[in-house]
Structure 1
Amino acid sequence: MSEVLPNVSCVTLRGRAVLISGPPGSGKSSLALALMDRGGELVGDDGVTLSQVGELVVATPPPHTEGLIEIRNVGLLEVPTGRAPVAIVINLTSDAERLPLGHGYRLLLGHQIPQVDLYPETPFLALRAEAALEMHGLD
């Protein structure tokens, strides 16, 4: 079973995929770039292919934009891509709670994946996303 999930970005960090969701213009590509700057590898920008492999949901590059990431006001950048099991969904929203008591879940291919809502307008967004992966992401 597989599906292409549009309007999301995805980066691998230490063998785990961080799926980034949010409304258009919320900073999904910018967060992906910041995580890549911290050692991550692009899986997909503006879309990702999800497949079930055993008990895992694995993110792979989408065929139509594989290896491309948008740098707003600059253009498209070609980069190497990776693939990994989805460990967490980072949802960019201005409604994110300041001090949540845990995390929510996103259902992907019938599997519950931890989801953390983050406020997008912060210079420390990549640090928060990385901390969310370590605190709440699947191993």
Structure 2
Amino acid sequence: MDQVLHAGLMALRQEGLWQGVLITGPSGSGKSDLALRLLADGYRLVADDRTLVWTSGGVLFGRAPDPLSGRIEVRGQGVFAGQRFLPACRIVLEVRDGVSERWPDPDHASYLGLRIPRLTLSLLEVSAVSKLSHALWHLGRGAEGAYLDGLASSASLRSGGDSR
């Protein structure tokens, strides 16, 4: 079973594995803009605007639907062939367009019955690439628990609770 999402997909190679970031948000929210900035930061384009997702062995994977494979839209300029293209990758994080809280609670997205961590941030924010890369760095080292614990500790601090 597979599903087509209105989302972009970018990947970064960490310790020999390609780690994918699903970028979600409404039309015009900056998904392709963030993808272009990620390309400049060493990421690879997997899919722009539409992403086909499927599961295998309890892992979520994604790629561009065939007609869109290897292409990215640059708003106001047209559709171009991606220079740094990857055919498919494992998806380990969703980045959703929105206003992020100062001390966010841990959040997850669910696709085809699998949960992945979700990060909410303004896709057009200058620091979006750095924030996304920071989250991916933790997740790429198998540290999802530590990453989510850090978010939970932040939420505890926000509410005045003890983070120990």
Give the TM-score normalised by the residue count of structure 1. Answer: 0.89
Q: Is the helix fraction higher in 1 or 2?
A: 2
Give unpaired runs (5+ residues) of structure 1.
none
SS at match of 1:97: coil
* Residue-pair matches, total: 136
Contact 1:27/1:120, CA 8 A, preserved across alignment: yes
Aligned equivalent of 1:30: 33
How far the C-alpha of 1:33 sits from its partner, in A, is 1.1
Q: How does 1:24-103 map to 2 (within 5 A)?
A: 24-79=27-82, 80-93=85-98, 95-101=99-105, 103=106
Contact 1:87/1:138, CA 8 A, preserved across alignment: no
Aligned equivalent of 1:132: 135
Q: Deviation above 6 Å: which 4+ runs of structure 1? A: none
Contact 2:69/2:87, CA 8 A, preserved across alignment: no
Aligned equivalent of 1:13: 12
Between the aligned partners of 1:71 and 1:138, the Cα distance in structure 2 is 32
Q: Which moved more, 1:28-37 or 1:74-83?
A: 74-83
Is the radius of gyration larger for structure 1 or structure 2? 2
Aligned equivalent of 1:4: 4
Give unpaired runs (5+ residues) of structure 2.
143-164
Contact 1:52/1:109, CA 8 A, preserved across alignment: yes
Between the aligned partners of 2:141 and 2:114, the Cα distance in structure 1 is 12
Contact 2:33/2:124, CA 8 A, preserved across alignment: no
Aligned equivalent of 2:147: none
Alignment-mate amino acid for residue 61 of structure 2: V
What is the aligned-residue RMSD (CA, Å)?
1.6
SS at match of 1:90: strand
Give the TM-score normalised by the residue count of structure 2. Answer: 0.76
Q: Is the strand fraction higher in 1 or 2?
A: 1
1:97–1:136 Cα change, 3 Å: farther
Q: Which moved more, 1:42-51 or 1:119-128?
A: 119-128
How far the C-alpha of 1:114 sits from its partner, in A, is 0.5
